[in-house]
Amino acid sequence: MSSVIEDVVARKLFNSRGEETLEIDIITTDGFGRASAPAGASKGKAEVISYPEGGVDKAIEKVEELVAPELIGMDAEEQKEIDALLHEIDGTENFGNIGGNTVFAISLATAEAAATSYGTPLFQHLSGYLANELPFPLGNVLGGGKHALGKTTDIQEYLVIPLKAHSFAEAAKANIIVHQKIGAALRKKDKNFTGGRGDEGAWAPNIKNEEALKIVVNACEEVSAELGIECRAGLDVAASSFWSPKQKVYVYSMEGTQRDSGEQLEFMLRLIEDYNLAYVEDPFHEEDYESFAELTKKVKRCLICGDDLFVTNRERLIQGIKICAGNSIIIKTNQVGTLTDAGETTRLAKRARYVPVMAHRSGETTDTHISHLAVAFSCPVIKTGVLHGERVAKINELIRIEETIGNRAQMAIF
């Protein structure tokens, strides 16, 4: 059989922040798969453990001693069986033994090895030849929080999404133009702005939260008029990162203000209405399902998305579905470990009419698997940055996929 696993190789390399990370090669009789693990800066508390105690070095040791002997001789096409075996080998609920990033890299490399064994692109291997929808790119164009240094916005990400682009390539170009216009506006506003950027290539200026939003919205409106498409702004608030559990308030350091849960709800609602936002991620801290539900009830044509709230975890999503907390979910495979786990959460989300958003992490590699996963899982949106090589790698891969399946970008989110 051409997809029988013959070797498993683990190595240490570096991500976009210069942090050590893990890469896995899976070699089959006729194929080869390689995947490297990303890392988040603002992580949800319920995410799986990234690496065992001892970090990447210990993870490599465990791959060589525990995992590789079990995988060699198995068929890479048996994705569910291999992912189940990884759970069994680890023996914990949060991959505390061999590490969630270890499992992630093995699971993705296995899928790619199976695909290349038969000369098939990964997205088609996972979903068949009926995969024919491309996601809209949701791009980070300005921000601060845990993704930047110094005096920047409390809100972590200011985003743009070109909702009525005619192709993925056109949508990606629109995001780049918005990014450029924002840079020009920031330089005009502040002669001392040095062009600093955060982890994901977004501008990182010394500017107040709402002032920043106005600049992003203006740039979106200009590009909409120039290209004849609908570019709208969004936010990743990452509210858990400035929630004070002792005081029970959101501490906005840049503004010098604090907001309790009710005031935060009203603030988010006003921003959505005043700026016609298309997307708001993590507007409340990661355990406040009720506020997510309340905001969702009060808005129209806006995705209220949970990242830290759900962490791609099926059980947490079920809890949210019960009270309609949000209407969208971030999908980050390394938050739960295996491809099978992420696929199950995505399918559950779609059955409950939650919009799944395939997403990168702030610490990335040039790995392009999430581009294929977005298409394979029929995610209407991919959140993968605008600029920086590790972000552009994923955008360029989607342009190649578009060339393969034709211009069939999904057009209906709301």
Find the range with the poorest average confidence among 151-160, 174-183, 267-276.
Answer: 151-160
358: which strand partners? 331, 382
CB 216 within 8 A of CB 276: no
> What is the second-level CATH architecture of the domain 5-119?
2-Layer Sandwich (3.30)
Determine how many CB atoms are found less than 10 A away from the CB of residue 204.
Answer: 26
Write out the two tokens for 68: 């590789």
- Closest of 270, 265, 312, 314 to residue 288, by C-alpha: 265
Would you state the pLDDT for residue 411? Answer: 45
Residue 151 pLDDT greater than 80, yes or no: no
pTM metric for this prediction:
0.95
What's the pLDDT band for 281 if we cut at 50, 70, 90? very high
The single residue of 62, 181, 332, 383 carrying the catalytic annotation is 332
Q: Hey, what amino acid is at 43?
A: K
CA 212 to chain centre: 22
The single residue of 200, 294, 390, 402 carrying the catalytic annotation is 200
Known active-site residue 332: yes
Would you state the pLDDT for residue 109? Answer: 98
Mean per-residue pLDDT over the chain, rounded: 94
Give the model confidence (pLDDT) of 377-393 as tens digits. Answer: 999 999 999 999 999 99
Find the range with the poorest average confidence among 120-129, 146-155, 231-240, 345-354.
Answer: 146-155
Known active-site residue 290: no
User: How many angstroms separate the Cα of 88 from the Cα of each of 77, 84, 120?
Assistant: 19, 6, 29
Residue 408 pLDDT greater than 60, yes or no: no
* Average of per-residue pLDDT across 34-39: 94
Would you state the pLDDT for residue 414? Answer: 56
CB 234 within 8 A of CB 279: yes
Give the model confidence (pLDDT) of 96-137 as tens digits. Answer: 999 999 999 999 999 999 999 999 999 999 998 888 889 999
- Domain spans of the chain? 5-119, 136-405
* DSSP sequence for 315-365: HHHHHHHHTT--SEEEE-HHHHSSHHHHHHHHHHHHHTTPEEEEE--SB--
* Average of per-residue pLDDT across 35-60: 89
176 vs 40: which has the higher pLDDT: 176
Give the model confidence (pLDDT) of 247-274 as tens digits. Answer: 999 999 988 999 999 999 999 999 999 9
Residue range 136-405, CATH number: 3.20.20.120
Nearest-5° Cα angle at 182, 369 to 358: 20
